[in-house]
Structures are given as C-alpha cells and as structure tokens.
Chains A and B, each alone.
Chain A
C-alpha cells in the first residue's frame, strides 16, 4: 500500500474528489497520523483556500462505514447482494481469464472501459493499451458535450468543464439555467458574487426560481426548453439594431450576412410567444448587453444534455458572445495558460480495428462527438443490442449509469448480456451492485494520483499525496489497471512501480522535482495577462477553426449537413394535465456520489417535489402531501410536495441524486425519489448527447400508505 509521506508531518497536499471542480486541499492529520480534516489550499489556483460543504465532508469519504473494503465476487444472481470476499490475486486471475476469452473470441473491441473525469486516466490508458475504441467518459454525453462542441465549432476553443470566463470582471451576466449558487463550483460562485458586489448586473433565465435567480437582478421564468428561441431573438435584435462589436466582427468573424438571413424570422415578438418572455424585455436585454460589452457573458447551462438541440442553443450562445466581441477581453472569455508536463515514455498504442459501438466520430452517426469521451448516451443501447458488434466485457470505474441516465432499463439489459462486468469504486452504488467483480479503490485522500494539470489565468500542476495508510484492502486505480494489464500481457504500458514513481518520472522530464511540488502542493506558471487577454494588450486573437476566424455559421456543421441545428425547433408538446419534469442540483451534493455522506445527508433528508401553488391547488395538493409522479411509460416515483411560487405552473422540479435503492448505502437508502426516473431517454441527433429534460409527467395526491411500493 502507499507510504504516507511522514516527512510532511502534520499535513500533506491533495485535491478534492467530491466534484469536478477539484479544489486544492491541505489534509490535516491528528497525533496518530490519521486524517483529521481538510482545509482549502490557499496556493491552489482553483480555489485559493476555499472549500465548500462537500469538500469539508471529504473526510467522510475515508471513514464512511459503507465503503467497499475488499475485492468481492458476485455469489448469487445479479443484484442479489450476495458477495464473496476474495484476495486480489483471485479477483485478478478471474478477471484475466474472462477478459482473455472475450478478446480471443471478439477482439479487443469486445472489451469496453468506462471512467469519469476525476480519475479516468489509468483506465483510459488501459483501453488504449488494449486497442479497444469503446472507452467512455460519461461527462461529455451526459453533461458538457454540446457546450464544449459549440464553442469549438464557432471559435475553435472548446471550453471544457472549467471554462475560462473572466467572471470577476464581467459587468453583465445573462445566465441560462446555469445555477451558479447551487450547481456549485467554488471559484466561479465567488467571482460572480464579487462581480455583483461591484455593481455587475445579473439576469437569470430558468423556469425555476433558484438561489441564483434570487441573487440576480432579474429572474425570467422562461417556458421550459425554449432557451434557444430566446437567444435567437437576441441575436436577431443585436444584428438588426447593429448592437454588435462591428470592428471585431469585421476583423475576426465570418458569416454575418448568412446569420442575418437565418435569424430574420426570429423576432422578439415571435420569441415572446415561444418563451413567455416579453418582446420588450428581449430588446432591452440586447441593448443592455451591448452597453456592457465586451465585459458581458451569455452564460451557457452547465449541463447541456437537456434537449434534442443543445448544439443549436450552444452555438447561439457562442455566437451571441462573439457578436459582443468577448474573446480575449476583460470580463469576457480569456485564453488560458497551461503548464505542460510530458507523459511518460510508453510503447506505441495499437490501432483500433473497429469503430466505436456508440457511433462517436462515425460518418452518418455522430461525426462531431468527441473520441476522448465517447457517448455514454448511445453506448448503452448499442451494448444492450450488441449492435454493430458484440461487446462482452466492461470495466467501469465509479460509474452509476443506473442512476444517471434516463434509461436504466437499457443499462440493465446491457449489463445482463455481459460475460464480465468489473466495477471499481470506493463506495457502493446501484450500478456496481450489478457487477461480477467489485474492486475497491482507496479514497482520494489515501492515495497518490497522477499530476493534476490545470489551466486558467495561470497554468498549474498539483500533487495528491496520501494523508494516511489505506484503511481497507484497497488498490489505487493505477495498480488495478496495471494488474489487469498484466493479465493480458500488456504490462509494458504500466512500467512504473508506483504512482509516486510515475509522477517523479514526468516531473523529471519537465525539469521539476517532487519536493518542490510537495512544498505547497502546486507549481504554477507566472501570471501573464498579455497571454490571457491579448486584445487588451495590443495583440491579436487566434481562432482554431477551419477558416481561422470565428464562424457565425460554423462550417463544420454545414459540411456534415447538420446545420439545421441552427434553426429553432420545438421540443415537446404537453398533453392535457402534463407537466415538464425538471431536475437539478443542490450545493451540498454532487451527482449520485455524496448522498451517503453523513455530514451532508442531514441538510435535506429527502428531495421534495416543487410544484406551483396553483398547479397544486388544481390537484388538491397542499404542502407536505404525498404525491405520485408518473409518466407515459408508466415510470413512477413518490415524493412529498413542496408547494411554492418558485416554479412555473407548467413544471415540477426535484433535486437529483435521491431515491437510492442500493441497500448498502445505509444513509441514503430509501430517501426521496429518483429524478432520473423521468429523464427522457432521447438523444440529440447533432452531437449524440443525451436529451434528459424532455420528460413530461402527471402528478396526483395519494395517501401516504399508497407511497409504499
């Protein structure tokens, strides 16, 4: 097991694993050398000393009694919760035997590997060493893909999960459902609040009155799924009234005339019908934004896996920002610095003989999807159908597709036909419950990891060191992948004896030494505002698109015949009595990973169903009533009603991550209802990303006794 760094005495550095923002932390130890608590690392550029509720509760990731404590083999039918503890050798031998059989019969593409952003690297390397194209990181298709793709199409700058927005200096925010105050990223919310305190204006667009809405100057309760119409009308207004940055458009953009034609019909009056937002307000906002430009941001939703045309919305937002000339300007979008550290020398990876089953990069399927991530949306149906070819083994790290997709039935069928399902994780969840083998990882605070490489105003790297010896019989993901690779004769791809050796190897190539990194936990580049904001310093902007310019009508969309995404299309029509089903985040939970943390669970024992007071009254529902939610597929969940004015009459809302049915989660089990039960299973045809917010439901009051299923 990993050797704790005793030289650091009472603390080591790490970074938080409880959300994708990954703040730097100082791990404080007690007199017995055990982890006592976490503090934000003031030198880490991501959080500068801050730590949110989840971050502080990261300690309970270590001490949680429900952790997976040794390798387990399934010892009964899938989902029967009958497990046999085994040694690592026995587990790896069995995994090796079955993987070899699958590879012999179906080729390396018969093995799929799934991992998520926080700790995907060793698993990605394992997939590359195998030569399978079926590697999936769910973050693209289930969350940020369309947003990242849109900026790439328009400006050649794929803004990722950590966007390079100069929020601190922005003077005007137009926020599309980006719930900054609750879908919580420390540095982002800090900078937004500081900008507001300095007099910036914030206009928030959402069917729901979130805390972000409350802290904004205006809340525009838009009709669900019509954001694209609003942005198109803003673009229309900006062009017709010539509110755009004409010098920037002249020097840096292509396609203004074509864009003008495409948006000609999207008048504010048209959009008012569609969105429920006054035409006069739309015009006023366009003018106010122009007034504040270029320190202005049309803020895209964080999770853009909502509708069947989130690429259309994403492109429109990128275009609106570009018309205001925000690129490389204060208060706009800046150019990040990076600190490049070479990867270790490895044997060349084999070429994959097959196309990925999810259709990523495949012409006529999803040519614009990103092969670094794959499509966690279409992957599962392809796996369930064994189409276009059989995939019979899956290694999944920290995945919970049973609770984070709108199609758990498909996920279950996909898993049922596997010859081998290996799940690695630190804690139980509804998906690893179905595995053949569970391999336990140490929590983030008990292990080394490869360098954290970040970007922003400065480029930086950070170190993760174990705060103490691992509590349980766990292995870090590098060692797990190394063990699996060895079973397949691929050990040369994992040449380092430990993660510490891997880090030292990489640092040495870059001319750094480990001790220097371990001193403050981070190494950063020098601040260089001229690099971040070239157009504030007399230099030019560069855009890595096919034309080298900002493409107001993206050529790659046109080239693939997908430019109908630029046009508005209606999402769903509500039938009589139906309500839109919305779900989202609360600041003290992440995805489905934190509901079992005892320090966080108490803030919301269960997730209530928000329903507007008039909608409730029509159904005879009063606050606190037990209500049944049911959709046209017959999917059903039971909630307690929260009757409120904080949501439109045509929608209901609840928080994601509740309704957990894995009995191994002793804190979270049985509390509330699952939001993803009503997430639509649809796919955005342009990107292949999920379209989860198209769900429609009926809600009725029931007796509490009927709530028991």
Chain B
C-alpha cells in the first residue's frame, strides 16, 4: 500500500529550543551558514496587551504541487509516490532556479557539492523505519511525522482528533504542502505565511528550453543527458567541490583538523 508521509508541527508545544535544527545539521553534515530546517518566530500582543510568542518549526513542505519541481530545468527534483520531494544529485546542474521558486525559502546550493539541498524528511532514515532526526530530538512532542494513510498512525490520529491543522498557504500561494501546523487559540502571524515566489524567476524557469524534457522522467533525462552535455554539469559540480577549502575558519569539519 502506498504511503502518505506528512509532518505535523504543533506550535502550541514548540519552545524554540533548536534541538531539531542542530540534530539535522549533525545528521546530514549541513554546512554552516545553511540549514535544512529552522524555527521561525514572531512576537505579537494579545487583546489585553500581553506579549505573545509564536514559534513555527519549518523545513521543505514537500508540496504536492511543488514549484521547485516545475522550476527545475533538468528534472533533478522529483516527487516520490509517498509524497516526498527529493532531488537526484546526478541530474542537478546547480543552476539554482528552484531556489527562488520555493515560497518557503527551503532550498539552497550546497557550496561543497554544487548541488541544491533541502529537507528530505530524512528519507534514508524513514526508509529504514526510523523517525526523522528533527522529530526524534524534539523534547516537547511538537513535531510528529508519519504515514497519514495508516489510520493507526499517530499523525492520522492527531489530524483527526485536533481538527485544527492547516498548511502555510494563502490565496496567492497554495502548492499543497504536506506539512501541517496548529496554533491552538492563537492567530497565525502574517510573517509566518509564504511570500509569492519572484515572478522573474518563475517565468524564467517556465521559459527554459530544457524544462519540457523534465516530463520524460528521470530515466529519460539521464539518457538524454549522457548524449547532450550532462558531462558539463557534472564537471562543474566537481569543480566547485574541489575549489572548496578544506579547513573552514569557524568550523573544523569532520576529518579536518587531526594534528
């Protein structure tokens, strides 16, 4: 049976402790200056004038109508049957067209590999039957991950029970995220809602000559690439990886400083 993976973030329980962010960095060796996940925050006032805090843990929302997939000229970004938005590194040219296409700012070019990176819902871990690193580290049960198609799963139960889950979508931006939030009795601060992607980039992506080829699927793309200049992309990626200095100033990478 096909799985239907979703993430729930109960913001009434998030305390902005950042355990999820560092757990992710550790798990995937995310370079400093970038992150696959984050905790966005806002401060508002209640009607009585009391301060009120809002913490929204975020990451790739694994949208069902993902603009990053449409924006990708090489077909590197794809949707798995269970809902995950993933990227095939061998096909990614590092063109970064998908980066501004994402309304959630979830994508970035990894300077070490020349390939775009983002949250995968910890695909290798969940395929091995484990929880994503962020979920496993959350001390307050604010993050829940699971298979919504399984009625016995915690996420299915919570979706049903709480009844007030929503996605970070607006009239302008609704790409059917698979990441749900709830805030209890608190209003959602505007700053938490997605901005429409920059039309320049969206247009440029859709006009791309290569883009229609994406419809051939990954296998077809790979075959075409072999004939039509995939080597150029791969070389470029290798070049970027080699340019990267081995000892960054602030962080000694693993395998670095060994004297």
Binding site for B on A (CB under 8 A): 30, 32, 34-40, 49-57, 59-60, 63-65, 69, 181-182, 184, 186, 189-190, 193-194, 197, 209, 211, 214-215, 219, 471-472, 587-588, 598-603, 644-646, 666-667
Contact = CB atoms under 8 A, between A and B. Distances in A.
7 contacts: A37-B27, A52-B137, A53-B17, A56-B137, A181-B15, A209-B51, A600-B22
Interface in B1-60: 13, 15-19, 21-23, 25-27, 32, 43, 45, 49-53
B53 A211 contact: yes
A648 to B, nearest CB: 12
Contacts of B250: 598, 601, 666-667
Given A30-B254, A34-B254, A211 B15 contact: yes
A603 B51 contact: no
B22 A186 contact: no
B110 to A, nearest CB: 17
A53 B22 contact: yes
B256 A50 contact: no
Contacts of B32: 598-599, 602
Given A53-B19, A666-B249, A37 B52 contact: no
B170 interface: no
Interface in B206-259: 247, 249-259
Given A56-B137, A190-B141, 11 more contacts: A50-B137, A50-B138, A53-B22, A55-B19, A65-B252, A69-B259, A190-B139, A197-B141, A214-B52, A587-B18, A599-B251
A686 B18 CA distance: 39
B140 interface: yes
Contacts of A36: 254
Contact of B43 (A51, A64, A646): A646
A53 B258 CA distance: 25
A288 B42 CA distance: 32
B175 interface: no
B43 to A, nearest CB: 7
Contacts of B13: 193, 197
Nearest to A211: B15
B15 A644 contact: no
B186 to A, nearest CB: 10
Contact of A63 (B22, B137, B254): B254
A666 B249 CA distance: 9
Contacts of A194: 141
Contacts of A601: 250
A283 B259 CA distance: 65
B251 A60 contact: yes
B136 interface: yes
Contacts of A56: 19, 22-23, 25-26, 137
Top 9 A-B pairs ranked by shortest CB distance? A56-B22, A53-B18, A181-B15, A193-B140, A53-B22, A37-B26, A587-B17, A598-B251, A214-B53
B188 to A, nearest CB: 16
A603 B25 CA distance: 13
A644 B51 contact: yes
A215 to B, nearest CB: 6
Nearest to A35: B254
Interface string B123-160: 00000000000001111110000000000000000000
Nearest to B25: A599
Nearest to A50: B139
Contacts of B253: 63
A69 B27 CA distance: 27
Contact of B136 (A49, A186, A193, A644): A49
Contact of B257 (A55, A65, A600, A603): A65
Nearest to A39: B136
Contacts of B136: 39-40, 49
In the complex, which of the residues B15, B52, B53, B138 has the most CB atoms of chain A within 10 Å of its own CB atom? B15
Nearest to B140: A193
Interface in B177-228: none
Nearest to B257: A65
A599 B13 CA distance: 24
B255 A32 contact: yes
Nearest to A221: B50
Given A30-B254, A211-B15, A57 B140 contact: no
B15 A587 contact: yes
Contacts of B43: 644, 646
Contacts of A602: 32
Contacts of B138: 50
Nearest to A49: B136
Given A211-B16, A644-B51, A63 B139 contact: no
A323 B126 CA distance: 50
A30 B29 CA distance: 12
Contacts of B25: 56, 599
Nearest to A42: B136
A646 B32 CA distance: 31
A220 to B, nearest CB: 11
B137 A214 contact: no
A40 B138 CA distance: 11
B140 A51 contact: no
Contacts of B254: 30, 34-36, 59, 63
A194 B27 CA distance: 26
A39 to B, nearest CB: 8
**From B13, B18, B50, B252, residue with most partner A Cβ within 10 Å:** B18
A129 B251 CA distance: 41
B22 A646 contact: no
B135 to A, nearest CB: 11
A53 B21 CA distance: 7
A603 B18 CA distance: 8
B256 A645 contact: no
Nearest to B49: A645
Contacts of B45: 645
B22 A599 contact: yes
A427 to B, nearest CB: 13
A603 B51 CA distance: 22
Contact of B18 (A32, A34, A37, A588): A588
A50 B140 CA distance: 10
Contacts of A57: 22, 26
Contacts of A186: 139
A215 B136 CA distance: 22
Contact of A189 (B18, B139, B249): B139
A193 B141 CA distance: 8
B124 to A, nearest CB: 14
Contacts of B247: 65
